[in-house]
Structure 1
Amino acid sequence: MVHLESKFMSKLDEYTPGLLKRFHSKGGTTGLKLKAVLIQTPSNPNINITREDADSASQDLAVQGMAIYSIKTNASEGSHDIGIVVEGIRVLTSQGTIPRACCMLIGIAYAVNLAYPKQLNYTFEAFQKLFLELDCSKLSPKLNSLKNKLLA
């Protein structure tokens, strides 16, 4: 039995410097996309990127297979509802932070044996196998390469 949240957060802290270094060193099309995102990210980022229009966000969530959302619930107080959607249904709400929601999404997917969305397969594999160390003896070649680079 693994305490998901503390394990995920400690591994996230461990791998973040290496990931940021890798992101900054990327070239080509991927590097350009990453640089555009990194330029917009302050040095001390607020990871709670939100949607201002709750109605629009709800419509978008209804068509998501698996997603983490953050919807501003009270503009004057700056409060947010951060949660998880699976097959268009909000399965967890009020998670507090995006990293916690990521951790819980992996826990849900792992516990009920959900297939990861194809376009995010490597992201979910990294969350599961690097950050939570679940089934970490069976890394894909891409993830094994990333792990070696991060630990070098």
Structure 2
Amino acid sequence: MGVYVINKDGGEPGHYDDVGIFVEGLIILDNIGSVARACAIMLGVIYTLNMAYPKELRYYYEFIQKVLLQMDGERLSPKVLGLKNKIHAGL
């Protein structure tokens, strides 16, 4: 599961020819438009289908879901709780 970005040779920086989401090697959504939107949609797909987060992005998506979106925020992993506390202490 992940986000893919296609940029043809010589394309201008920051402009992508295609941004999409793939699951188990199959493209499930394409032409999303931006990497940020693709990440948000992927979070929604994971949440809606009750899937596990990709291992490499577990804490990233947990932080977005539980801290930023305040969904199921009372149960945080120690790493995400530490980051949340650091952010709140700095404000």
Same fold (TM over 0.5): yes
Equivalent residue number for residue 55 of structure 1: none
Distance 1:145 1:134 in 2: 18
Question: Which consecutive aligned stretches of 4+ in structure 1 deviate over 3 angstroms post-superposition?
Answer: 73-79
Residue 113 (structure 1) aligned with residue 50 (structure 2): yes
Give secondary structure in 2 for the equivalent of 1:136. Answer: coil
Shift of 1:74: 8.1
In the alignment of these two chains, the number of paired residues is 87
Give the % identical residues.
44
Distance 2:16 2:58 in 1: 31
Distance 1:136 1:119 in 2: 21
Equivalent residue number for residue 4 of structure 2: 69
Compute the TM-score of the two structures, normalised by the length of structure 2: 0.81
Distance 1:130 1:73 in 2: 36
Distance 1:67 1:134 in 2: 22
The structure with the larger Rg is 1
Higher helix share: 1
Query: Is the contact between residue 5 and residue 16 of structure 2 (CA under 8 Å) also seen in structure 1?
Result: no
Give secondary structure in 1 for the equivalent of 2:17. Answer: strand
Equivalent residue number for residue 27 of structure 2: 90
Give secondary structure in 1 for the equivalent of 2:7. Answer: strand
Equivalent residue number for residue 17 of structure 2: 80
Distance 2:69 2:27 in 1: 23
* RMSD of equivalent CA atoms: 2.0
Compute the TM-score of the two structures, normalised by the length of structure 1: 0.51
* Superposition map of 1:47-62 within 5 A: none
User: Structure 1 stretches of 5 or more lacking a match?
Assistant: 1-65
Distance 2:87 2:18 in 1: 33
The residue type paired with residue 70 of structure 1 is V
The residue type paired with residue 101 of structure 1 is A
